A and B are shown apart, each in its own frame.
Chain A
Amino acid sequence: MNAPETGHAVRLDAVSKVYGTGGGTVVALDGVTIGVPRSALTAVMGPSGSGKSTFLHCAAGLDRPTTGSVTLDGLDITGLGEVALTRLRRDRIGFVFQSFNLMPALTVLQNVTLPSLLAGQEPDRARVAEVIRRVGLAERTGHRPDELSGGQQQRVAIARALVNRPAVIFADEPTGALDTRTALDVLGLLRESVVEGGQTVVMVTHDPVAASYADQVVFLADGRFADRLDRPSADQVAARMTHLGAWEGRPAGGASKGGVR
């Protein structure tokens, strides 16, 4: 466990996250140990309240674990301060959120180069052009987000995440707000970045179809690691999710935290 994690882009070691103090505490993550392999698409699944989002926040340095440690790209980020975490996010992490990914005041091009702007660096023009072309928005670089469709907005977000060749891209329900066809486009793009660019992607989702694009699927339930499937089909994922939901709903299984949607 303590050996150099050359194969892991992100590693969580016995990570717990407790919200609140006193009587009103909620244990969102309860001793989770998970490694995310490099150059692979990893999907994180689980019912609502299973700790998926908290997992993503802790892994991406958006939130600090209560106990345990997080290693990202070989760097222990557990004790980093706010500014160091911000730099880490800027330089080594890309984000794709479910919605509201883009600054409404900025054009496609400006949104894609935003991390460079924040870093005070001149963006690599060739790389920016290539990434924008790859997501299919070469004709729309001067448009603002409100002039784009939902799918196009997600593609801009992916371009922004890819442009700096980050160690990891974290995607939080990237297809949650899209129709099926557009969702498949976006998943295809993420998959392509892994296969062709050797990119590492961690995607939180509750959609078995989205999860079927992953190299491995990690299941969480009640804040704990529940299971793992390698290269599953959508049906396998759905079956596992149903099982998790049933398992969670059993009276002996502890507090019910909602079901599967």
Chain B
Amino acid sequence: MTQLDFYTLLPVMTLTIWACVLLLVDLFILSERRGLTAILAVVGLLVTMGVSISQMGREATGFNQMIVLDGFSNFLNLLLLLTGLLGIAVAYGYNRRMGIERGEYYPIMLFSLAGMMLMAQASHLIMIFIALELLSIPLYVLAAFAYPRPESEEAGLKYFLLGSFSSGFVLYGIAMTFGATGSLAIPGIVAAIADGTANTSLLLIGAALILVGFGFKVAAAPFHMWTPDVYQGAPTSVTAFMAAGAKAAGFAALLRVFVVAFPTLSDQLTPIISVLAALTMILGNVIAIAQTDIKRMLAYSSIAQAGYMLMAFVAYGNPAVQAVSVASALFYMVAYTITSFGAWGVVIALEKAEGKGLAISDYAGMGKKYPFLAACMTVFMLSLTGLPPTLGLIGKLYLFRAAVEGGFITLAVIGVVTSLLSAFYYLRVVVNMYMKTGDPEVARETWLDFTIGATALLTVVLSVVPAGLFAWASQALFIALK
């Protein structure tokens, strides 16, 4: 154990220790001053963010190469910390308004975030599994956070049962991989494959099982069944955090494991992943059309977005396009995180107690009464569709380009067609806001408004100057392990 070990893992450790301390501190904060816990959590996130920024451009491995620090993990750490900050900003007023202002919310969220960051840094299958559990278990608790509301409890239980089922798949896949290669560390697996000592068929089964487990986490069809119910039942502040964070972490692990450890399996796996991507895009977008509840609609939309991200993943075994695929996946993750947080923020602003104010028809008349919120929501809907002038368009352009360069033109065509299809339900929200009359009631909360405004601004501004972000994503490479 050296200093370098700790340095490699510093962001995760800072956050974990802070979360433990926060859990204790919160016990002694009076219930009227619950806001203090949120502020302390934000301070912790900012400190961790500082640590991560100071690690920019560094590369190191620690704990016998179980943990890596590279451009990829640094990029994701910063993205996930941003997710945490936005998650607290939208939850702050919402939890109070819904009567679920419990101090545990923030430490639990920090624990989950630590798991997500560990996922981006793990380079050992057991570490990946620990990270998976560390990110999932707090999310199960958060989904049921609005107890005694039955919908929330149902969401928590459903997520828990299906989530542990999918963890089983990952674990079984890890066991198979170990059986095939005799190693759990990614460098060891790579070495065994290079030596030819690995049992290919067993390895393929292992990789496929890991794919199934993470497909569940990122809500890819046909493993998406839990998504609408859990997203709808969980408190909206949790849904926003879960949709962005869990997806980013799931893709982080998928990208690292498959790109680094399993590139030789791409002949067999690429057809499977491309079918998954196509199915996810089609299914998410088509079913979203039929939704009348905005939370369910955004849940199906998040499934569809997972499909677009999978598209970048399809060509992972082709060294010529690998770098650009990973970069465009990362870029799209940023675009999705910012946009979806904004959209969920508007949903939170309109939501009232007892799950009222969540129908798409409740958005009628927004344009007149709340021009600022309506304009922001329009930006988010355009971005999710992939229309200019938004980040969603740029992200999709990069993704489609990566797919075409990888030789998956059919997939790119499916992506474009389903994007057109998605315009129908995204723009329906816009039509409701501007062309129908109604009298919506909105909660004005400083931090919520700030989040919505800032994300809308970022969505537009970053679309005008995307080059810097994309260049940064292109620098986010995997460390070469020996």
Bound together: no
Residues of B within 8 A of A (CB): none
Q: Which residues of A contact B (CB under 8 A)?
A: none
